[in-house]
Amino acid sequence: FQRPKDFDLKRYDDEGRFRFGNGERIRLSFSIDGEYGAHLLETPLSADQTVKEREDGSLRISATVVDSLLLMQWLRGFGDAVSHVRKKRLH
């Protein structure tokens, strides 16, 4: 294997390529049951993550992330505990 001269492993990882993404950044927002989403208070998805606690105990999460297949599979893994998923493409 001969690495291309312009290849940057950190940039490749930052673009989400190892998580089956194409580098596209999105603003992801979703609601999650408070019990399932509590870990996101200690380990945020991104530095700009915001969390709003709702009256019903759920959390409304918003964060800028790299869109990827693994991200969507992670969200689906919570089943009915996640709802109102929105993805806004950033340009």
Nearby residues of 67 by Cβ (< 8 Å), 6 or more positions away: 16, 21, 22, 24, 25, 26, 28, 87
Model pLDDT, residue 23: 67
Higher pLDDT, 91 or 86: 86
In this structure, the number of other CB atoms found within 10 A of the CB of residue 68 comes to: 20
Whole-structure pTM value: 0.76
Model pLDDT, residue 54: 96
- Tens-place pLDDT, residues 27-77: 999 999 999 999 999 999 999 999 999 999 999 999 999 888 888 999 999
Residue 68 near residue 16 (C-beta atoms within 8 A): yes
User: Where do the H-state alpha helices sit in 1-91?
Assistant: 9-14, 34-37, 39-42, 69-76
**E-strand spans in the chain?**
21-32, 50-53, 59-68, 82-89
Model pLDDT, residue 91: 73
Confidence of residue 3 (pLDDT cuts 50, 70, 90): confident
In this structure, the number of other CB atoms found within 10 A of the CB of residue 72 comes to: 15
Model pLDDT, residue 16: 62
